[in-house]
Every structure is written in structure tokens, then in C-alpha cells.
Amino acid sequence: MFKSGFVGIIGKPNAGKSTLMNFVVGEKIAITTRKPQTTRNRIMGIRNTETGQFIFLDTPGIHKARTPLNRQMVSAAMSVFSDVNMLLLLIDAGTHIGEDDNLIVKALKETKIPVVLVINKIDLIDREKLLLLIDNIRHLHAFKEIIPICALKGFNVDRLLDIIWDILPEGPQYFPDDMITDRSERFLAAEIIREKITILTHKEVPYSTAIVIESFKEDETKGLIHIQATVNVEKDSQKGIIIGKRGSMLKKIGTAARLEMEKFLGTKIYLELFVRVQKDWTQNSRMLGELGYQDE
């Protein structure tokens, strides 16, 4: 018996959705930071076994969106409801149930697919608080299962995979054995650059940054990939922060991104970064489309 199916991972920003997907796939294909709203696109991660294929869809955090970019992110997350066999609702064990959770629960009431409630980051709270949290949220929806995990350390993730296996239907192998994501190397390179900017800069800068890969060329004679990328920001002041004094920040971002790209792609990388101001691009539907985001 071969099983296969699509598993949507949903939840509030910073619940650990990308961390979970990276762990179960066994490779870092979704960027992760401590800052909320890091994930902007729906990203597929594929876990292959001898008897099945788990196809995970990592999504942006669901929240009350106020800008065209944020509305696009929430739309990308909500669209997964109609494309999967089951949903994993991730909740950060250290947070309280609030407005964003109610937004998610309201959406769940309109779907009939199985939903597993996954309480993540349980290493941050004691057993008594965990039991109280479970008691407080079990009534919000008719969850198929409720399971506590720590995605970062892999605690109880095997049990979660067993639950997913029980729910998934028999089905074909949708993707080849050696395929772990549907995203291109260009997309992953752009995401790695954006991750390093998010980690190394502060305040509004990470949220005002969009990466465009202008060129991605393999140089077989030199045994490397030459990548040219543009970092788009909204303001001149943000451009100054990204570049840094005498280019120090841009160099730091470039070095960190290059090293991770080399690790992931398994080859030498020559990375060139440029910075451009696209005034208020997060508020402009046309620019969102040009930069790889579609406001819906």
C-alpha cells in the first residue's frame, strides 16, 4: 500500500511552521528567523519514504492584514484550504489565544478536511501550563488529534508523522524520489538573501525588502554559479541601512547568503548584490506583481 497526499501547515506568524517543514523534509528549504511574518509565499516540501509521499505546504502566518503585501500573504495561506488532504494548525505554546487565532478557527469551520492541532515549542512551558492550554483550545474546533511537539528539536515529530500517515489516503507518487521542493534554485537563492537581511537588520527594514534575482548563470569553466541580485527597499534611509558604512552591511549580508547558498547548492557561488529604492512598493499592487507578489 502506497500513501500520498498534501498537508497544509497553517497558523499565526512565528508559530514554527517553516521550522517544522524543514525538519520533516530533512533540508532547509524555507527560511526561518525569530521575527514574525518571515514567510511570504506558499512553499512545498516533500518527504519521501518507501511506502508513501508526504507533500507539505508551508504558508505565511495568518493575521489581520492591513497592507496589500500582507493581504497577499494571508490570501496565499488561506488558499491552501482547498488544495490539501489535511491541515496542521500550529500554535506556539507560549502565546495566548487571540484575534488571529479566532480568524483561523472561523476559516476552519468552513472546511470539512481533517485538522490536527499541533502545539509547538513545548520546551518553553511546563507540563501544567501545557495541559491548561490544551484544555482551553480543544473546544475551538473538532480537531482530529491534538499533539504537542518541539519542531526545532524534533521532539514528538515522529508521532505527528504517524498521525499524518493514518489520515492520508492511498495514492500515487506525485513527484520523483529525489525532489524535495517545487521551488526553483533562483527562488531559494532570493529567499536566502532575504533571510540574512531579516536576521542582520532591524525595525521596518526586513519587512520592506524584496529580492529579485537578475541573473543566475553556471560558469562550468570556473566551476561556480554567478548570481546577481537586487535588494529592493521602500526608502532611501533603508537603502543606507542595507549598504551600511562603506558597504559593510551589504558585504556581511552577501557573505552570509553566499555561504548558505554554497552549502545548499553544493557548489561555489559568486554573488553580487545591488540595492534599489522602489518607493512604497508594499503598498502598490503593480509593484507587488513585478517583485514576485500578487496582491489579491
pLDDT value for 296? 43
Domain boundary residue, one of 138, 167, 196? 167
Q: Is 184 exposed, middle or buried (0-12, 13-18, 19+ CB in 10 A)?
A: exposed
C-alpha span between 165 and 4 (Å, rounded): 9
pLDDT value for 138? 87
115 and 212 assigned to the same domain: no
User: CB-hemisphere CA count at 13 Å for 152?
Assistant: 12
Domains of the chain: total:
2
Q: What is the DSSP letter of 44?
A: E
pLDDT value for 292? 84
SS3 212: strand
Instruction: List the alpha helices (DSSP H) in the chain.
Output: 17-25, 68-78, 99-108, 127-137, 157-167, 185-200, 236-243, 248-265, 285-290
Closest residue by Cα to residue 225 from 253, 264, 199: 264
Structure pTM? 0.91
Evaluated on CA atoms 39, 158, 179, 75, the torsion sign reads: negative
Q: Is residue 90 part of a domain?
A: yes
pLDDT value for 295? 47
Residues 194-251 have pLDDT tens digits of 999 999 999 899 999 999 999 999 998 989 999 999 999 999 999 999 999 999 999 9
Residues 32-81 have pLDDT tens digits of 988 888 888 899 999 999 999 999 999 999 888 888 888 888 888 888 98
pLDDT value for 294? 66
Average confidence (pLDDT) over 175-185: 94
User: CB-hemisphere CA count at 13 Å for 21?
Assistant: 31
pLDDT value for 149? 97
CATH no. for residue 10? 3.40.50.300
Cell of 244: 551600511
Range of the domain at 26: 3-167
Rg (CA), the chain: 20
146 and 216 assigned to the same domain: no
62 and 156 assigned to the same domain: yes
Dihedral of the alpha carbons of 215, 221, 223, 229, in degrees to the nearest 10? -10
Does 293 have pLDDT greater than 70? yes
Residues 119-163 have pLDDT tens digits of 999 998 999 999 998 998 888 899 999 999 999 999 999 999 999
Q: Is residue 239 part of a domain?
A: yes
Stretch (H or E) spanning 280:
none
Cell of 77: 495561506
Q: Is residue 147 part of a domain?
A: yes
